[in-house]
Amino acid sequence: MCRWAAYRGEPLFIEELVSSPAHSLIEQSVCATRAKTSTNADGFGLAWYGDRPQPGRFRDVLPAWSDCNLKSIAHQISTPLFLAHVRAATHGATRRDNCHPFVHDTWSFMHNGQIDHFERLRRTMEQRLDDAHFGARYGSTDSELMFLLAMQFGMKERPLEAMAEVIGYVEKLSLDMIGSARVRFTAAFSDGKSLYAVRYSTDAFAPTLYAGPMGLDGGYCLVSEPLTDDSEAWVEIPAGSAVILSDDGLNVANFGPLQPDETKPALEMAV
């Protein structure tokens, strides 16, 4: 399992999440207290939005705690919207192409979780990609593949529905091919305007997701694990939920798998 943190609000130095807090992402890379895998040393990554619609991205394969570039970049760059990730490899070798966040056009995506039996499902899932999205697959992780499928299923127009359809597609495929299915999926993604996060699992053990205020002026942080011990500052998002941070503030919606061919509206806003 991996650890991640994302922010949307007034410009904030990236290090305010990545290296400064008591349980900063770098601290969590050494010792995550609520994660299945206690060390997240298989690389890290940042995606941040600035003067262009596309995000900048920086990824590398060293443990986050020892990378001097990460420390300097996180210290130097101030941005209103960013995603940060430390990786403990489940699927895919330790190489830059397998480090989160993944970026496609103006979208960025990162993920904690996994698809059971992915090695047996991978080939069929890749064949589901159309040529344009197949050509955008650089690594070998389940995470990148789910992101590209979501882009193909319409992420630009209806991000949460597209993501719900990917999960529905994978669960059905696994049932058909393997006879059982389990997708554990806590992810954040953004188009540079809004920031989305999802917490879901086929079973009762969805990877954790928390939200908390950050910064002086109405910003929010979404994290796989709280960054501080101040338990009142962090709200646990229940499994089966999506969080939307936008100019309308923070909203939470129900979230569950959909079938890609479904055409009816996918989500009702819960708040």
Residue 75 interacts with a second copy (CB under 8 A): yes or no: yes
Residue 93 interacts with a second copy (CB under 8 A): yes or no: yes
Residue 61 interacts with a second copy (CB under 8 A): yes or no: yes
Closest approach, Cβ 231 to a second copy, in A, equals: 25
Among 52, 179, 216, 268, binds a second copy (CB under 8 A): 52
Residue 219 interacts with a second copy (CB under 8 A): yes or no: no
Closest approach, Cβ 3 to a second copy, in A, equals: 14
The answer to whether 199 and 255 have CB atoms below 8 angstroms apart is yes
Closest approach, Cβ 179 to a second copy, in A, equals: 18
CB count within 10 Å of CB 136 equals 17
> How far does CA 61 lie from the centroid of its chain?
18
> How far does CA 13 lie from the centroid of its chain?
20
Residue 240 interacts with a second copy (CB under 8 A): yes or no: no
Among 10, 22, 33, 76, binds a second copy (CB under 8 A): 76
Placement of tokens 């496609």 in the chain: 104
Three-state DSSP at 47 gives strand
CA distance 110 to 49: 15
Q: Maximum Cα–Cα distance for the chain, whole Å? A: 50
DSSP 231: G
- Within 7-36, the residues that bind a second copy by CB under 8 A are 13, 30-31
What does the per-residue mask of binding to a second copy show for 95-114, with x meaning CB under 8 A? Answer: xxx-----------------
Q: What totals of helices (H) and strands (E) does the chain contain, helices first?
A: 7, 13
Residue 144 interacts with a second copy (CB under 8 A): yes or no: no
Among 20, 106, 140, 201, binds a second copy (CB under 8 A): 140
CA distance 225 to 35: 8
CA distance 174 to 153: 19
Question: How many residues of this chain bind a second copy (CB under 8 A)?
Answer: 44
Q: Which residues bind a second copy (CB under 8 A)?
A: 13, 30-31, 38-39, 41-42, 48, 50-52, 54-63, 66, 68-69, 72-73, 75-78, 89, 93-97, 119, 123, 127, 131, 134-135, 138, 140
